[in-house]
């Protein structure tokens, strides 16, 4: 069975929009909660599987995330809570986890950097210390019956250190597996990944345990995000993180580039006859709204030129 046949049998990959968190954290202009709610509601209407509402971090560190508790309070109200969309968050420490549990978050994401320099800048800890801390937090969240995703950040390279050895990445993955954590993401924080590297790393992970739910998070710093998503699909990755309008970037890396663009990713997979249930036009409208709000052109392609229609494909074939 080919990789594509496996996906057709599954009938879908799972799409995780992180725009309200990773997408906005780099923006100097603090977006009011009403605008965030509007964009998140649009993503729910579009049919995204998972939406990352925010991160539970100190407001002085990332002012854009100061309203995360209020956002979850809004979306946990009976009239506002989506029926099928999972609402996720990012946490960096025990205090953030405590707030996430109090907020009733569906899915909690947390990670460890495979770069010592990035780890120190992002968390103030060594890789070893951060790994031990994150594992303890993840087990607490699992005990509270929460969905948990753990990630390896800077998994394909670091803006400060350059090359990150795959053995170091796999060592962190193995630690996660040893503790029973099986939803694992590789995050290309610096945007250094190449498709062959993506295939190689996820192949190594799959060889560790075929029951792993593999996830990916690519930044488009050097224009390779969509190509890397395709490479991840070939390796059986299930969860794909992206950001509406291609917003985003890590404030603690050397060169911050936006995430893979949600509407561009959805357009690609729909041309491959997958996830036709997602409302692409709604995603395009959100991207247009983001461009108008920030008064600048967004990095995505599809919101500017429009999707290829099926009628056009037939005519060109």
The C-alpha atoms of residue 142 and residue 306 are separated, in whole angstroms, by 42
**Four-CA torsion 96, 97, 101, 104, nearest 10 degrees:** 60
- Report the candidate in 211, 265, 201, 269 with the shortest Cα–Cα distance to residue 235: 201
Residues 50/278, Cβ–Cβ less than 8 Å: no
The beta strand positions in the chain, using DSSP E, are 14-17, 50-56, 86-91, 107-113, 147-153, 183-188, 213-218, 239-242
Catalytic residues: 250
Q: Which residues pair with 165 in a beta bridge?
A: none
| Secondary structure class of 178 (helix, strand, coil) | helix
Tokens 């496996």 locate to 6
Burial class of residue 9 (count of CB atoms within 10 Å of its CB; 0-12, 13-18, 19+): exposed
Tokens of 110: 């947390």
The beta strand positions in 209-282, using DSSP E, are 213-218, 239-242
- Report the candidate in 134, 68, 133 with the shortest Cα–Cα distance to residue 103: 68
Give the other-Cβ count within 10 Å of 161's Cβ: 15
Tokens of 268: 């690609």
């Amino acid at each position: 069975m080919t990789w594509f046949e496996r996906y057709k049998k599954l009938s879908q990959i799972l799409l995780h929009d992180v725009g309200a968190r990773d997408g906005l954290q780099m923006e100097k202009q603090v977006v009011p909660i009403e605008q965030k709610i509007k964009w998140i509601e649009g993503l729910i209407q579009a049919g995204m599987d998972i939406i990352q509402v925010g991160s539970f971090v100190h407001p002085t560190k990332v002012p854009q995330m100061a309203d995360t508790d209020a956002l979850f309070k809004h979306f946990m109200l009976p009239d506002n809570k989506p029926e099928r969309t999972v609402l996720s968050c990012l946490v960096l420490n025990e205090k953030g986890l405590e707030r996430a549990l109090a907020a009733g978050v569906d899915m909690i994401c947390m990670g460890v950097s495979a770069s010592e320099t990035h780890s120190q800048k992002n968390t103030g800890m060594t890789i070893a210390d951060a790994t031990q801390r994150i594992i303890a937090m993840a087990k607490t969240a699992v005990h509270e019956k929460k969905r948990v995703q753990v990630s390896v950040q800077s998994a394909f390279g670091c803006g400060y250190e350059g090359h990150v050895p795959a053995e170091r990445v796999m060592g962190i993955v193995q630690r996660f597996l040893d503790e029973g954590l099986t939803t694992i993401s590789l995050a290309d924080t610096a945007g250094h990944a190449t498709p062959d590297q993506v295939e190689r790393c996820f192949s190594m992970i799959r060889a560790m345990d075929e029951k792993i739910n593999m996830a990916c998070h690519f930044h488009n710093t050097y224009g390779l995000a969509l190509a890397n998503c395709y490479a991840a699909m070939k390796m059986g990755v299930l969860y794909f993180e992206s950001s509406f309008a291609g917003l985003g970037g890590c404030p603690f890396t050397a060169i911050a580039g936006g995430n893979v663009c949600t509407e561009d990713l959805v357009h690609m997979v729909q041309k491959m006859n997958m996830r036709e249930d997602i409302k692409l036009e709604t995603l395009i409208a959100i991207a247009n709204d983001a461009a108008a709000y920030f008064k600048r052109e967004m990095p995505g392609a599809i919101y500017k030129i429009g999707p290829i229609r099926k009628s056009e494909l037939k005519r060109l074939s």
